[in-house]
Amino acid sequence: MSLTIEAIPAFNDNYIWAIHDARHCVLVDPGDASGPLDMIDRHGLELTGILLTHHHHDHTGGVAEILSRHPVPVWGPDDARMPDGIEVVAEGDRVDIEAPELSLAVFETPGHTRSHIVFHGNGMLFCGDTLFSAGCGRLFEGDAQQMQRSLDKIAGLPDSTRIFCAHEYTLANCRFAQQVEPDNDALRRRADQVSELRRADRITLPTRLADEKSFNPFLRTREATVIEAARQREPGAGDSPSEVFGVIRAWKDAN
C-alpha cells in the first residue's frame, strides 16, 4: 500500500507526523495526545508504533496517554529523560515495521540535544529538531562541531529525500537566511513560496534535501558567500565549516 504522511498540528508550531497506509499508522514525536488520538479514531487506523527523536516534552508529552489507549512499541534514543519502556535505538540500527511497511535507518545527530536521533527510509527523513527548512535547531546541549557533523550526515543522504521537520519555523528562517545570503536566488524563490503558503495558512513542509542545500545557510557552511557573511559578522572568525556554523548559529540566536 502507498503511504500517506499527515501533519498533525500541536501547540503553537509543532507538527506530529502520522505515517499511515489507510489501515495502520506510526506516529513521530507526539508531544500531545489529543490530535493523534483524534486522527486515529477519525480514520479508523490501527496504531503500530511511535518514533521519538529526542527527549523534549513537546515531542514526547503525549506518549503515555496514547499508549494507555494503544499499547505499541516505542523507539527512541538512549537517554534517561525519555519516556519509560522505549526500545532504545542508536546509530546503525534499523526500525522495521510491517504495517505500514517501513524500514528506517537510525542516525545519531547530537547538537540540539546530546542524544538526538533521526529516522531515514522510504525516501523520507524524520529529523525532529536537528534540521528545519532554511534553518536548524538551537544548540541546547551540544556544540557547533557536533551539529556540523550531524548536518553533514543529513547532507550525505540522497538529494531526493523529503525532509519532515517538527516545527513550522520556515518563514522566520527564510528571513534570517536572507540576511546571510541576500543575493541567493534559490532562497528568494523559497521565501516567496513560503510567504504565499503561510498567508493561506498552509504548511511549508515537507521540503526536499536538494532544495535545502541550495538555500539553507546551515547546510552551506562551505560556500564562499556564507563564509564571507560569517567573516563580516565576526571579523577574525575561522573559516572551517564548524566555525562558520558557530558564527551563523549565534547570529540566528541573536535575531
Tens of pLDDT along 200-250?
999 999 999 999 999 999 999 999 999 999 999 999 989 999 999 999 999
CA–CA gap between residue 125 and residue 99 (Å, rounded): 18
Is it the case that residue 104 has pLDDT exceeding 90? Answer: yes
Share of the chain above pLDDT 90, in %: 99
Q: Which stretch of DSSP H or E encloses residue 26?
A: strand 24-28
The pLDDT mean for the chain works out to: 97
pTM for the model: 0.97
Cis? peptide before 9, omega within 30° of 0: no
CB proximity list for 173: less than 8 A, separation 6 or greater: 132, 133, 134, 135, 216
Share of the chain above pLDDT 70, in %: 100
Is it the case that residue 38 has pLDDT exceeding 80? Answer: yes
Is it the case that residue 154 has pLDDT exceeding 90? Answer: yes
Q: Is the dihedral of CA 166, 117, 96, 159 positive or negative?
A: positive
Q: Which stretch of DSSP H or E encloses residue 4?
A: strand 4-10
Q: What pLDDT, on a 0 to 100 scale, did the predictor assign at position 1? A: 61
Query: CB of 95 within 8 A of CB of 102?
Result: yes
C-beta atoms surrounding 208 within 10 Å = 14
Tens of pLDDT along 162-183?
999 999 999 999 999 999 999 9
Q: What pLDDT, on a 0 to 100 scale, did the predictor assign at position 89? A: 98
Closest CA to 219 of 251, 244, 189: 244
Closest CA to 162 of 209, 113, 101: 209
Tens of pLDDT along 50-94?
999 999 999 999 999 999 999 999 999 999 999 999 999 999 999
Q: What pLDDT, on a 0 to 100 scale, did the predictor assign at position 7? A: 98
